[in-house]
Each structure stands twice: as structure tokens, then as C-alpha cells.
Structure 1
Amino acid sequence: MKIYGEQITAGILAGGEGRRLGGVDKGWYTVGGRPLIEHTLDRLKPQVGRIVISANRSLPRYRSLGYTVHGDDTDDHRGPLAGIATVLKAAATPYVLVAPVDTPLLPLDLVDRLAAAMRSETDIAVARTPDKLHPLHALMRRSLLDDIQAALFSGVRRVTEWQQETERVVVDWADANAFANINNDEDAEAVTGQL
């Protein structure tokens, strides 16, 4: 089974509250002289056919980048699982790659490697580094929308909890920094030299 980039919509999850960064909109937090959303777009654009952004504030500012932007269906901050549901609903392709806005070192082979791991019985391919699983860096079938909505309705909020109920394959990256996320100024300084 071969999955091509044009069959994939990348959904950038930019709806977080940014509490660890003092409440700022993470997508517009500057690292290496550019906002995180620009780093993420630059990494994902060559890998997929379409991009949508899931955000719960600064929507006009995100739209000014030229991409479709959607907010969650509710305003009760149900977390990234709700953002994934938003992206799946907005996508017009059979596959969706999700990635948070705060990982500016996203691998340039992310889609190739996750897509290569998908099989006919696989629902989701998830990235893992030596230190941990990265459930928000995943390629999944768009047809999982009903499953996610049912999980949210039943009170599930954690992405890992929902993913455990799917046919999941894990793909390993040797570089522990491949999915380094930015939660504070020190994190930003640590990745700046690698951008």
C-alpha cells in the first residue's frame, strides 16, 4: 500500500492555551527570529498535499498565512484530541498527518516514514524517539473521525488513551530532538542552533 503526499492533509494543532509560556499563543512565539507556525509550515509544506490549522484564537492572523483555519466545535478547551477531530472534519483527503505547532525541528521525512509503516489494517502510525512516544505526531485515516467524536462524547481527553483503542503502529526516530517541543525560553534557546 503506497500513500502519496497528495492523499494527506497536514493538520497543525495550534489551539493550546500556552500556559507554560505565560498564556501566549504558541504559534506566534518567536524562535530563531521567526514564529513557530512558520517553522512548522516550512517543514510540512513539501511533505503533504494540503494544510489546515486548528486554532482557538488569533484566527484572522493564522488565516493571513493563506491556509484554512478552524476552531474547535466547543470553547471548553477539550485539548488536542478535540483539535484532531477538528482537523479530520476539515480534511478532504483520506489521510491526515497531525503535528503540534511547537515542534520546529520536525523531521523532513516524517510523512515518508509514517506512510511507509501504514498497512491496510493500520489506523494510525505514531512517531517515537528513544525517550518517548509522540502521540501528537501521527498519520491517521480520516475515517477515524467518528471514533474520535465518540471518545470525546464519552469523556476521553487524552490522545494516548484514544490511540490505544486503534490499530496503531509505532515508527522509531533515533534523534531524541526530532520532536523537541517549545515550552519555555530555555527550550527555544536549545533548538535555535538547529533550525
Structure 2
Amino acid sequence: MPSPCDPQHAPAGDVGAALMMIDSRLRSIYDEKDEIDPEQQKLIDQYAASLDPEGIDDLLDGACTLIYMYMRWLRMAYEDHDKDPVEYVIPSLVATMRVMPRSFPPEVIPTMVGLVVAAGTGLSPNLWRKQYGYWTEEELTPLEATTFLLADHINRLTEDHDFATRLITEALCRADKG
């Protein structure tokens, strides 16, 4: 019986905008500035301020699509080594979340982990989340941070600071051609 959370029923959202935000965060961390370039931050802030409710939904769906795509890649990478991605990704993700209480209040950790587990088991994270109502304001920063942590996990595995961004960019280019 097909799941109502099957990814084929999920909107992709604005993956490009979500990727731009995550890539900016990654670059700020890897460049050891621990802050986004002020011009880049200004552009992100202007973009975010220009979003209407539909645009915000598209950005949230885009972030969930990134989570799904990252977990799909991680699932394939870990399974190539006869490992369960949930077993290897979730413990380090939760440990990181717990030491970042400003980004991850304790009450949102189960939701963020649920998104990753849903994606790791082949379900759409955004459709899984929508079962429980609309996103709360308290979940928005943790959603972005969860997406960032997955991208960083991939980059560390591959020892390539641009791998996660390139992975998505190449997938978007293939989708445009197909």
C-alpha cells in the first residue's frame, strides 16, 4: 500500500533558494569567519523579506527536499559499506543538536530527527511533517540548521567542502535537461 508520505507526492519547493542559504552557511563556517559575508547576508535577508506566504512554503519545501536528497545520497553511500545510514547519521546529528541549544531548543529535536529518519527511510520529510500541522516559528531555524548539518556531514565524509552543494546543483541541472 502506497504511503501518503511517498516522495512522488511531495512538492519540491524552491530548492535553489534553500541551497543558496545552506551554501552561504557552509562557506562561512569553512572560511573560519563564523559569519556570512555581509553582502551575501544582505541578499539573503532581502530575499527572505520579499517572500509571501507561498514563497515561504516553497522555501520550507525546498529545505525538506534537500534533506531528502542528502539522506538519499547518505543512504546509498552507507549501504555501499553495508551500514545503516540512520544508525550512523542520527547519533552524531542529535549530539550536535544538543550542544546547540540556541539553534535547537530541546523540544524541536524530535521533529528534526523525525525529518531525517523519514528521509532516511525513503519518505518525504515535508509530507511526514505536514501530518502534524503547519510549521511553527520555533522550527524554522532548526530546519535550516538540520539541512546544514546534513550537508556538512556529507562534506566531511567526502573531504570536499563543496560536495553537498555540487551534488544538488548537478541534480538540478540534470532535472532541467530531462
**Between structures 1 and 2, the one with greater helix share:** 2
TM normalised by structure 2 equals 0.31
**Between structures 1 and 2, the one with greater strand share:** 1
Query: Which of the pair has the greater relative contact order for Cα pairs under 8 Å at 6+ separation?
Result: 2
TM normalised by structure 1 equals 0.30
